[in-house]
Structure 1
């Protein structure tokens, strides 16, 4: 349980830091000449849409984890951590195929259409990396699923808003391209370490 919560927290922080989602919002806000307040509001809406779809999918996956836990005793101890490790290895293997965000010229559309498009895009791009944690949480109990849902939503959304505000004002300068390029391998290592720890900390 400790490893599961710690791993979820680390992954949520990394997810908020890696600019896969909030950088497009910032870039479009710059292009559309939004104010800091407007950019923050759109980031908040997009982040909540993203978190909502992730948590909804997580709840469905938690049901599967609960069913497996009730019918297969070794699930919590062996199979669930193995899923984390396998998923982590998959992300490490696939990280070199990661697609980066590039803002290309697009036809002029209304600000409302831009915002709606961003929110819809974020809703239909749930964080699949965190879903393995919901699978394990379902095997433990719904209280843990709720903890992960709240933890993920708060950390991810607040992190997105924070980084957008800081970078909008030029207060933070980082090599975002390098960070985003290595997002897959960072996620993979986090999943593998959580899976290994889950074998020993239950």
Structure 2
């Protein structure tokens, strides 16, 4: 079994999502001591935003790659292969300005690959990347569960993974972390209780 941990928060030791990804991976590796844990920090080792060469390397057949695409292909494909080789993917996803950090979006952009993780059949999308578990450590400064304020963080992740064949994304959520130290501590405690039930 392989567990892949992805972190994207830029707040370092103050990151709530990193506290949660640590708690989740600690829990999972205790349950599955035989598992291999791979960690990818998109802040200390960021992926560049995709450009023409990366897009072509990811999406076009290798025999149609130009020189820049061919040079980019090994590193670009390695990101996707790491994801596809994983049985469980733990993603730290803080909300930044109502959505996910751009570092995390750059990682997602390498997973949506026609003919590999999705295709179209009879005019409808069909996900090809099922068979793995995705757990999102979601942290948000405000309160969004009750609606009222638009959020494009969890909804984006839910929609993206459903599109590539993983409809049952699990969320471990810490909300209201910006409401003060007591609210932050309570949110983390509540999220840790959720982790124990994974």
Same fold (TM over 0.5): no
Q: Which has the higher helix share?
A: 1
Tell which has more relative contact order, 1 or 2 (C-alpha 8 A, sep 6+): 1
Q: TM-score, normalised by structure 2?
A: 0.26
Q: TM-score, normalised by structure 1?
A: 0.25
